[in-house]
Amino acid sequence: MAFTAADQEIANIAAGLALDAVEAAGHGHPGTAVALAPVAHLLFSQHLKHDPADPAWSGRDRFVLSCGHASMLLYAQLHLSGYQLTLDDLKHFRKAESQTPGHPEYGHTPGVEMTTGPLGQGLATAVGMAWAQQHLARRYDPTEQNSPLLSHVYVIASDGDLEEGVTSEASSFAGLHQINNLTVIYDDNQISIDGDARASFNEDTAARYRSYGWDCVQIELLSTGAIDVTALDLALTKSRNSSKPTLIALRSAIAYPSPNMTGMAATHGSPMGSSEVAATKSALGLDPALFFQIPESAAKHQQQMILRGTELRASYNAAMNNYQSREPQLSKQFQNLSNLDLSSIQLPSFDQGSSLATRKSSQQVLEELAKLPQLVGGSADLSESNGVAAKSLEVFHGSDETFGSPAGRRILFGIREHAMAAFNNGVALASPLRPFGATFLIFSDYMRPSIRLACLMQLPVVWVFSHDSIGLGEDGPTHQPVEQLWALRAIPGNSLIRPADANETAAAWIEILRRAKPAALVLSRQNLPTITSNPDVAKGAYIAYESNKSPQAIVIATGSELHLAIQAASELAEQDIAVRVVSAPCLEWFDEQDEAYRSLLLTGAPKIAIEAGSAIGWYKYVGTDGKVIGVDDFGASAAPNYLFEKFGITTANLIKQIKELI
């Protein structure tokens, strides 16, 4: 379809709304929202498959505004397309409790597919979104090239997005695996906050993306200074039929058609001022004296977009009916993905007295969990070490079947921890699949921005972190996590689970999947004795050892330190010293319990915590009069037993500290 004068009028109205919203707020990012208004209008009105009446429609395409600071670009389109986002919502842009926060927030504003703002996250997450849709079509409708299960993902990204390393990781992965239902419009406006972006970013971006295995289209500005919407329209149409992901490098002039501020860095993050707003409105053909203009043409466009959504839904429903006739069994399996049924899972039984690293017991559990069709995931080049090389999960590869199947569920992410985390966020956002990603705990630092966004959006993503302490030994302080446990616990909405043995590990997996929220499962490299039989992991903490007398001390332990605590309590019992041992695999789940339960575990005696990591957060539980045995240094390259002795993570030191405490 052609981009008509009527289309340009609606795009100009969207630009005017962006100008007014930023001006009314007194802060914001108007330049990109004004310049790219025709781009967003073209996407929403002619290319994006969506239904304003049902933002959660499963058959929709996804749009991700990776440069989330330009949020008014998205909000204006949502309003003009007929979503439940009112003109009053636009007038309250960036105000407290509004539907239009400064950066788009998933679950807060209808039509927002993910929370964006940290640059690079949107594009990297979109790779996971596109993979999830492609994966579902390959698994559940493998013979149909134009399956209704296969939707498209569109991204608008900025220079800043492409400068961030996470997009390089994710784009490399997308190109390698030919994730071809992904189109990225790169807003090449050559402007950054510091001024001319070429001062810090002057590479041949198209050549880089071609080397990744992408199709690349470069579109220059028209002689008028306007975006070449016709060329963009053709590129978008072509991208839907490509065998590769597509990057459209689109030249634009920030703030165009502002008479005096087009191309100026000042328009990136500040209001343009009332006089320039008025002048820009005049250039757009709008009345400079009117604010938040919604002429009759805009109202008519809203109705047209709602009707378009209804028609797209009808077409999709017909295609789904045909799919159900073609593939009755597969279509039923696809429909059942929305229900995670844990009743069929038969967890392995781990006998007390046996010894096994929790990463190894986790792998045995994962082999059973692979029965769940929703489970997908992999490791950042550490599959065997992390214990996620489940033999019953077929390896995925999107372009070369000598390495894996295009419908495989176990993903070899390569050494791309940051992209792996963002990718899994995308899978969780765009499908009923339940993703996991694995690496060493120390490398959670590389993943932290994506983990934080997963928690902000409350996505059911599981991070499997093995090699959880100085217990990994000779690899030394660069690989021995110290502060990472509390760093992950500090993220609101995250649950960190550090099981003490194989049975706690099995119970943790079930509870993580049942809760369907962000979770970090932290596992040992070294063997640990199996000391529990029916651990109450779901409550986050429980009494693992109790003498017959009222406790004189309470020891709280996690992970590899629980067996030390139980051994210490047992030895002290022979000396007529009563010690209660509380296993606390997940402090977040424990904090959810009522006060009566928490008091039952932690009152009545002075407390001491033991964990082979930073001590910083434990005083919340032991109090200022309590003690913490931890590791507040970087470790060393030595055998694990030597290191535990060096840092006092031993039964003998625990006994000594308990006696001093009481």
Distance separating alpha carbons of residues 517 and 59, to the nearest angstrom:
24
> What tokens does 389 get?
């090389």
| DSSP calls for 150-203 | ---EEEEE-HHHHHSHHHHHHHHHHHHTT--SEEEEEEE--EETTEEGGGT--S
Q: Is 353 exposed, middle or buried (0-12, 13-18, 19+ CB in 10 A)?
A: exposed
> What tokens does 187 get?
């807003």
> What tokens does 323 get?
């799919």
Distance separating alpha carbons of residues 500 and 585, to the nearest angstrom:
7
Residues whose CB falls within 8 Å of the CB of residue 443, separated by 6 or more in sequence, listed in order: 380, 417
Distance separating alpha carbons of residues 265 and 198, to the nearest angstrom:
12
Length of the chain: 662
List 153's β-bridge partners, or say none: 62, 182
| Crossing angle (nearest 10°) for helices 502-515 and 358-369 | 50
Is there a cis peptide before residue 435, judged by omega within 30 degrees of 0?
A: no
- Looking at the chain, the number of H-run helices and the number of E-run strands are 26, 21
Give catalytic status of residue 417 as yes or no: yes
**One of 417, 504, 561, 611 is an active-site residue; which one?**
417
Distance separating alpha carbons of residues 597 and 151, to the nearest angstrom:
48
What long-range pairs does 344-353 form, CB within 8 A, spacing at least 24?
Answer: 344/371, 345/369, 345/371, 345/372, 345/510, 347/506, 347/510, 348/506, 350/501, 350/502, 350/503, 350/506, 350/530, 351/530, 352/530, 352/531, 352/532, 352/533, 353/529, 353/530
Residues whose CB falls within 8 Å of the CB of residue 125, separated by 6 or more in sequence, listed in order: 64, 114, 422, 423, 425, 426, 429, 450, 453
Beta pairing, strands 579-583 & 542-545: antiparallel
Distance separating alpha carbons of residues 8 and 298, to the nearest angstrom:
11
Three-state helix/strand/coil letters over 403-429: CCECCCCEEECCCCHHHHHHHHHHHHH
| DSSP calls for 638-650 | S-HHHHHHHTT-S
- As annotated, the active-site residues are 417
